[in-house]
Structure 1
Amino acid sequence: MVAKDFKTSVLPVSNKLLRFATHFLHDEDQARDVVQDVFLKLWQRKETLDEVENIEAFAMRMTRNRCLDVIRANRTVPIDEDTDRRLKAKTIDVHSKVELGESAKQIKMLIGQLPELQQNIMHMRDIEQLSYDEIEEATGLQRNAIRVNLSRARKKVRDEYLKMNRNDGNTRNTTITATLL
């Protein structure tokens, strides 16, 4: 199809396409853009337009499809308050998990620096959650000695952790420490 044929067979349907697109989109400026896009695509296919039986119907279908594309692109998905709150909570949870993971690594490292007896007692009581009687059996220490060693170990880890994180300006770390210990 040459330019002359294009002008005589395709361009006359422009008003009809514009009315259709305006009805579909409820916005004349967007409708004009859609019709312009359709004409551009038709012009790019001018060599194969001779194979199309009804160019007007073909152009109408292209306009409809392009309008649907515009509507989909402009559609915003409304988020209700509950969904919004859950999305924000997930984001906060991710940050909390990262912070807790980093804090846990630091605390494990600090526990590793304790004397072996304090490490063992802290592990048995805080990780394995053994009772004082069970720790007494395992270590052969008296209950009072276990409490003293556990208290000293926890205090040492807490103090060192706070020293490590004091420069962050992050007040949340003290809460994390209390939670983890």
Structure 2
Amino acid sequence: MRSARSLSFLLVISFVVTLGACSGSPTPQAWAATVCKVLAPWRTEIGDLATRTQQQMTAETTPAQAKENLMRLFGGAETASEKARAGVQEAGVPDVDEGRQVAESFTTSLSAMRDAYGKARTGVQGLSTAESKDFYTKVGSVVDTLNTEYQASELDTSNLSSVELKQAFDEAPECR
């Protein structure tokens, strides 16, 4: 009877230790892989947005049609950026020195991108479509501001202070 209790006790302790190990911060490799999985569809959508925005700027549509299309495009990018931000936040904090700061810099960057797209959507929404030339000139200004804000908040994994994370991003198949 005593050995059965000892065995049960050891199994419970083993289970608790295993759970404790699973609940910790993700390894640099696991974190990088998760972040890249989250960012891959976002990057594709943002690339598509850039192409569609350029097409919209040169397409022969009415200003009202262009306004509606651009608002939809910028709104989609805003939503995609928020989804990416939430996914990176859900990835947790990588188990590296200054992991919290790294994770926060990613979510802050994605928040800034989300906000830049929201500002562009609102900017286009506020434009008058009465005068075609004036509309497209102002859309150009909105897009210039978006590009500036986007570049200022861009994610760049090559400047990571953590050697482990930099290596994890360089080696993870999900990041290629």
TM over 0.5: no
**Normalising by the residue count of structure 2, what TM-score does the alignment of the two structures yield?**
0.33
**Normalising by the residue count of structure 1, what TM-score does the alignment of the two structures yield?**
0.33
Quick check: which has more Rg, 1 or 2?
1
Q: Which has the higher contact order (CA 8 A, sep 6+)?
A: 2
